């Protein structure tokens, strides 16, 4: 006969203790995730930025120049292979076509930026959800309503920043950590739940805890977290700068070859292909400023 049949009260007590322990572990995971994504990641990115920003931006700008130039050469060669004559008008039309292609790329990239920008989320959702989340969190964290601790100060500051920046994703994360913590701390022994319901609660918490731990492991296995030790290692920093410079040198060599090839194709009709329209320049700036770390 099982322990449930012989000791139902003891079994129930053990279930409740297991559930409370699982809730604590789950809360700890959520708080660690918040710290990693909202504090640690920003610190590491700022550190990397201070060390390698110039190199990374140079790589992306030159890579974009190379991509545009190679596309011009590709289209010119298609014309030549078809036996068409390269007149000034043909060359001009190809350059215009390439500019338009990269204009569309600029628009697509802007869409990507918009999707990752909390300011551009569904305004109907944000306009109602952001104030609602803020009011709930303020009641739990504001110094006028609660005794201040280092923990509540940190969370209250994060809440204010998220509200100011209209960052619904951070507010939702804070809600899960703060309100979830409160919900998890309720005295479930006062709730008349069946053993089956308690067992189901335990299984659900175990499943969620496995998921949250995997999420933490995945984050820690990605940049910039994998670079934390290296960013304090002067030898690695020097080596990485050299590697980035080698990449810049390679792109420069490819650019020179492509420029020579372009000029050999168009001959006297050669003109600088660095003069790009405003949309391309705008894209180049946004591309460099927004995506140079870990997005190449």
Each residue's pLDDT tens digit, 86-138? 888 999 999 999 988 888 766 765 565 455 444 444 444 556 788 888 888 88
Q: Among the listed ranges 9-18, 70-79, 100-109, 150-159, which one has the minimum average pLDDT value?
A: 100-109
Across 30-39, 158-167, 224-233, the highest mean pLDDT is recorded for 224-233
H or E stretch at 60: helix 41-81
Cα(53)–Cα(59) distance, rounded to whole angstroms? 10
In a domain, 296, yes or no: no
Cα(205)–Cα(40) distance, rounded to whole angstroms? 27
Give Cα separations from 145 to 152, 161, 181, 228, 241 (angstroms).
Answer: 11, 19, 17, 38, 51
In a domain, 138, yes or no: yes
Angle at 104 between CA 101 and CA 107, to 5 degrees: 155
The pLDDT of residue 3 is above 70: no
pLDDT one-digit tens code per residue, 187-245:
444 456 788 888 888 898 899 899 889 989 999 999 999 999 999 999 999 999 999 99
Range 255-264 contact pairs with CB under 8 angstroms and sequence separation of 24 or more: 255/62, 255/65, 255/66, 255/69, 258/66, 258/69, 258/70, 258/73, 259/69, 261/73, 262/69, 262/72, 262/73, 262/76
Cis peptide leading into residue 224 (ω within 30°): yes
In a domain, 43, yes or no: yes
In a domain, 173, yes or no: yes
Residue 212 CB neighbours (<10 A):
18
The range of the structural domain enclosing residue 46 comes to: 3-291
φ, ψ (nearest 5 deg) of residue 274: -85, -10
Contacts (Cβ under 8 Å, ≥6 apart) of 269: 86, 88, 91
In a domain, 236, yes or no: yes
Query: Domain total for the chain?
Result: 1
In a domain, 110, yes or no: yes
Residue 99 CB neighbours (<10 A):
17
In a domain, 223, yes or no: yes
Give Cα separations from 51 to 45, 191, 195, 197, 240 (angstroms).
Answer: 10, 56, 57, 54, 10
In a domain, 93, yes or no: yes
């Amino acid at each position: 006969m099982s322990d449930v049949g012989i000791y139902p009260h003891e079994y129930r007590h053990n279930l409740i203790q297991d559930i409370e322990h699982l809730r604590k572990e789950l809360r700890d995971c959520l708080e660690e995730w918040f710290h990693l994504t909202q504090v640690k990641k920003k610190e590491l990115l700022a550190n990397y930025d201070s060390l390698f920003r110039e190199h990374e931006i140079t790589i992306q700008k030159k890579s974009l120049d190379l991509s545009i130039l190679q596309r011009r050469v590709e289209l010119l060669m298609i014309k030549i292979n078809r036996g068409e004559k390269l007149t000034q008008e043909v060359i001009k039309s190809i350059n215009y076509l390439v500019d338009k292609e990269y204009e569309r790329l600029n628009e697509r990239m802007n869409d990507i930026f918009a999707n990752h920008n909390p300011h551009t989320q569904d305004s109907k959702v944000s306009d109602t959800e952001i104030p609602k989340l803020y009011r709930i969190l303020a009641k739990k964290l504001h110094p006028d309503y609660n005794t201040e601790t280092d923990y509540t100060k940190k969370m209250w500051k994060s809440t204010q920043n998220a509200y100011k920046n209209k960052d619904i994703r951070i507010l939702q994360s804070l809600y899960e950590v703060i309100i979830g913590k409160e919900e998890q701390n309720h005295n479930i022994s006062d709730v008349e739940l069946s053993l089956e319901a308690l067992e189901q609660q335990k299984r659900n918490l175990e499943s969620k805890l496995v998921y949250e731990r995997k999420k933490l492991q995945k984050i820690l296995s990605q940049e910039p977290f994998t670079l934390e030790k290296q960013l304090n290692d002067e030898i690695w920093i020097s080596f990485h700068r050299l590697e980035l410079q080698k990449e810049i040198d390679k792109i420069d060599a490819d650019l020179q070859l492509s420029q020579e090839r372009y000029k050999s194709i168009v001959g006297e009709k050669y003109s600088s292909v660095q003069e790009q329209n405003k949309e391309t320049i705008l894209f180049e700036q946004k591309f460099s400023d927004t995506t140079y770390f870990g997005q190449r």
